[in-house]
Each structure stands twice: as C-alpha cells, then as structure tokens.
Amino acid sequence: MGHRLLGVAMPLALFVAASCASEAPARDEAAPAAPPVVEAPNPIPAGALPGRPSKVVELDAAGLAADSIDTASLETLLIDAGFVAGTERRFSKTADGRRRVTARVLAFETAQGAERYLAWLAGHVAEIIGDAEAIQDPRTPAGGVVFVHEPTGCCHLETRLFLGAWRHDATVLTLKVGGQSIRLGAVLGFVSMLDAAV
C-alpha cells in the first residue's frame, strides 16, 4: 500500500512543480526602464552677477506660474511639460543708476518640456515685462532670445526692461534686467556671466 501511494504521489508532485514553474515570469524578460532622475538645479552662486545678491528662492510650479495672468493655465502647462524645480536669485545696484536683475535656472524632465516653456515665454512676454520686441543679436545664446521693453513716457517711474531666455538641454535659464540706464551690451554680458556660472 505504501509503494502504491508513493507511486501516485511522485508524479503528482512533479506535475505541481511543473505547473508552478510555468507560471513564474521568465528571467530573461527586460524590466521596464526606470524614468530618468532629474534633480533640482543648484542655487545660483552669489557671485554669478554684479550687484548685491539676495537669498536664493526655490521655485515650484505654483511659484513660477505667478508670472502669468492666467496662473492656473501656466501651472498646468508646467506640470505637463515636466517642470521639476527652479532657483532664483536677485542682484541689485543703486549707485550710478538703479538696476535690478532677476536670474533663474529651471529644470525640466526633458528638452522638449524646456522648449515648451520657452515657447510660452515668447508668446506671453508682455505679461512679464510689458509690450516688447525681440532683439536679433549674434551674442544671444543659440536658440535663445532677448526681449526689450522701452518706457512709453506715461509714467516717470517706468524703466527699460530686458528679458533673456535660453536653454541647455532640459535646463532653462532666464534673466530679467531693469534700469533706466541699462543697455543691450550690458544685458548680453550678464547673460554670458550667468551661463558660465551655472
């Protein structure tokens, strides 16, 4: 009787083992690729640009969306474009003519996402510095743009404003410069300094 039970149990055990083995995932199947890890940009160095530096401000999508009149739409665009995080530092000068400079470094998951944000900036520059025109200059970083808003004379406090924006792969850099005596040459110099510092 014991031999008969052993004779039935052995094939049954082999059958169960074979069934379990067939349900196990194959070891040679490629696992899905993990999404790339994108880190927030490093803070802009205090010595990146001339002037008195402020503390570094970290930017999330909601903070960056405050640039727009329609903050909800811009925040949605930033999320869809894969915005990760950004840093901002301001530099000011009061002697020999006031000047205010705001520098930002913004990280996106992909170069395509960064390009989407640059396209938004180009289409909404008036929301940031007022009516402006793009300046064509060979000193502008490749693929970048510099806009200028000239005072209209309606307000004695209004100043000339520049906005520069360019990218390196998935990182966007922007520079907003304001001051009555500021000129394009100085702005392009600041662009080069920021580009080299980050």
> What is the pTM assigned to this prediction?
0.78
Residue-level pLDDT at 180: 81
H/E element, 72:
helix 71-80
What is the tens place of the pLDDT at every residue in 37-67? 556 678 999 999 999 999 999 999 999 999 9
Class of CATH domain 52-197? alpha beta
Residue-level pLDDT at 163: 98
What is the tens place of the pLDDT at every residue in 99-140? 999 999 999 999 999 999 999 999 999 999 999 999 989 999
- How many Cα atoms occupy the beta-carbon half-sphere of 17 within 13 Å? 6
Q: Is the pLDDT of residue 19 over 50?
A: no
The arithmetic mean of pLDDT across residues 5-20, rounded, is 43
Q: Is the pLDDT of residue 5 over 60?
A: no
Alpha-carbon gap, residue 107 to 28, rounded angstroms: 36
Q: Is the pLDDT of residue 173 over 90?
A: yes
Percentage of the chain lying above the pLDDT 70 cut = 77
Average pLDDT, the chain: 84
The DSSP result for 158-179, as a single string, is ---EEEEEEEETTEEEEEEEE-
Domain ranges (residues) in the chain: 52-197
Backbone angles phi, psi at 26, to 5 degrees: -65, 140
